[in-house]
Structure 1
Amino acid sequence: MDQELITIGELAARTRLSHKALRLYGDRGLLAPAHVDPRTGFRRYGPDQVERARHIALLRAAGMSLDRIAVLLDAQGAERARLLDAHERQQESAHAARRAAVRYARHVLTGGGPPVRGIAERDVPEQKVLFTQGHVTAAGLPGFLGEATELLFGHLRRAGAGLSGPVFAVYRGLVGEDSDGPVEVCAPTRDAVEPAGRAGVRIEPAHREAYLAVRKGQEGHPAMTAAHDAVGAWLAGHGHVRSGSAREVYYPNWATARPDDHVADVACPFRPAPPAAAVSGPAGS
């Protein structure tokens, strides 16, 4: 049997993958060695694993994560094609988002400020919310928002409770390529619910907030970043003081909306600027 197996060096030579990459794929269960010498730890691979290693390298070059590669390689036929199509759509969406980010960066870095048109104000009453929190970067944000929302909806269903308003996400810290929040996803409810597992319950205080409506065609991290910047610039320009964390409010039509439909608001609670002090007249007047 040993004569049919090849060393990690031979596998590296045939696939142009480094020893480090091959060990990583083995440790992640993607390319487990056919045999590991219990005394020396030397890894040996079967001839059929050369093709699998090449497939992994091909998918990594296409930007696919190791977790997704594991799922795809275990799939068959039409399911493999479906997974590849989904990855292509995600890559195209990410590329479009990066182009939008570059355009916005160019606008800001060449002297343009965030547009502040369309900012409105509203009063938000006190409300009870079921919430869950996580640390997530920009790349993982869409997945986290979907997962967190499903978790909260499941909790509400089990409790026989319903929503009393749109779901919203509170950004307790910056979310970016290198910053991971945290982000708190909240589901308002007037019904009786108890904390359990990753879901907590708290009271969101009443506040006044500035907000900017977002259309479906504006979704994506760069567009939302621009909206957050615009709300912040509007607050600063009016002398208002932030009284809470910035947030995004998501309306139920998000998944089915047309590009021009209003699907979300970017908002920030604030305390109005104090009135300007009265100007005193000349002494003795």
Structure 2
Amino acid sequence: MDRGVAEVCDDALLTIGAFAARARLSAKALRLYDRLGLLTPAHVDESTGYRYYRAGQVERARLVALLRRLDMPLARIAEVVHADGDRAAALLDVYWADVEARVAGQRTLVDYLRGRLTERDSDVYGNFVVETVDVPEQVVISETRHLLAHELPAWIGASLGRLEEAARVCGGVTAAPFVAYHSDVSAESDGPAESCVPVADEAAARAWSERRGRAWQTRVRVEPAGRLAYTRITKAQVEYPQILAAFGAVEEWIAAQGLTVTGPCREVYFADWDAAGPEDPVCDVAFPVR
């Protein structure tokens, strides 16, 4: 087609009905996209309120429709369609990585629920390898909160970040950070949970706590030496409630071995969370035992 003719065609105004047919969308969807700023009409008649679109907007309309087929929320679609090519593709990649992580976690949850529904929990727990490890006495700085399950991920990341920063003046981090659960954290129960970072210098840690710790509700304590029964899980499996299967597997193993739980269960975060993929091991679900 002659370039001049193409430009004229792209510049032509179409009624919302004609444009909807060409874009293979409903008029209702176009009105919604307009309200959200995803696809604004080229012209709105002031007297009638009728919307008109240019033929050149069809590509944007179809892009929005395709992104919706990925179940992408409209707010995130707005980010994609308003970005340039490389940035838009990067935003799509981030969204899809989130989807894959969610699906991987849901797959684990389905297996767990299937076992619960058929009263074959042991079949599910058999997917986890449980081992023991001896850990030395540790000085830890910690932060405690009462919170529900949906609040937990954000708080864990933020609190461990604060404590790891504080560890710089406490002789440095000496072992993997962990989160101890002193009571159940769920949709109805608020714990508390305690974020812990092992540090090298107890005196420096106590001095730091006196200076700043109270503002963060932190404390310094000595974690006794002991043995942990644990299973290693992936980033996808950390998602609640999928992680419950890992806790159940360790508890069943402890009972089968005739061991006794001696302290609060915990999640030990030994890997770089941000750099890990959904199937990368990042966490040990553990119970102190004797």
Q: Is TM > 0.5 for Structure 1 vs Structure 2? A: yes
Alpha-carbon distance in structure 2 between the residues aligned to 1:147 and 1:59: 30
Residue in 1 that maps onto 2:74: 66
Contact 1:214 1:266 in 2 (8 A): yes
Of the structure 1 ranges 114-123 and 221-230, higher mean CA displacement relative to structure 2 is found in 114-123
Contact 1:119 1:212 in 2 (8 A): yes
Deviations 1:59-106 (A, max 9, x none): 121132334323322322333333334444443443333333333333
Name stretches of at least 5 consecutive residues in structure 1 with no aligned partner. Answer: 273-285
Name stretches of at least 5 consecutive residues in structure 2 with no aligned partner. Answer: 1-11
Q: Which amino acid aligns with 1:128?
A: I
Alpha-carbon distance in structure 1 between the residues aligned to 2:52 and 2:149: 37
Contact 1:15 1:54 in 2 (8 A): yes
Give aligned pairs, total: 257
Task: Provide closer, same or farther for how the CA distance between residues 224 and 25 of structure 1 changes in structure 2, counting only shifts above 3 A.
Answer: same
Task: Provide closer, same or farther for how the CA distance between residues 218 and 53 of structure 1 changes in structure 2, counting only shifts above 3 A.
Answer: closer
Task: Provide closer, same or farther for how the CA distance between residues 15 and 153 of structure 1 changes in structure 2, counting only shifts above 3 A.
Answer: farther
Residue in 2 that maps onto 1:213: 231
Residue in 2 that maps onto 1:128: 141
Alpha-carbon distance in structure 1 between the residues aligned to 2:230 and 2:19: 55
Residue in 1 that maps onto 2:185: 173
Task: Provide closer, same or farther for how the CA distance between residues 226 and 33 of structure 1 changes in structure 2, counting only shifts above 3 A.
Answer: same
Tell me if 1:228 matches 2:247.
yes
Contact 1:248 1:267 in 2 (8 A): yes
Distance apart, 1:265 and its partner CA: 1.6
Distance apart, 1:204 and its partner CA: 6.3
Residue in 2 that maps onto 1:95: 103
Residue in 2 that maps onto 1:55: 63
Aligned-residue identity in percent: 29
Residue in 2 that maps onto 1:16: 25
Distance apart, 1:214 and its partner CA: 0.1
Deviations 1:147-202 (A, max 9, x none): 53685378538x75643432224565226xxx8978957252554263699x5524
Q: Which of 68, 78, 81 is residue 86 of structure 2 equivalent to?
A: 78
Task: Provide closer, same or farther for how the CA distance between residues 98 and 219 of structure 1 changes in structure 2, counting only shifts above 3 A.
Answer: closer
TM-score (structure 1 length as normaliser): 0.59
Q: Which amino acid aligns with 2:166?
A: L
SS in 1 for 2:38: coil
Distance apart, 1:229 and its partner CA: 1.4
Alpha-carbon distance in structure 2 between the residues aligned to 1:181 and 1:36: 52
More helix, by proportion:
2
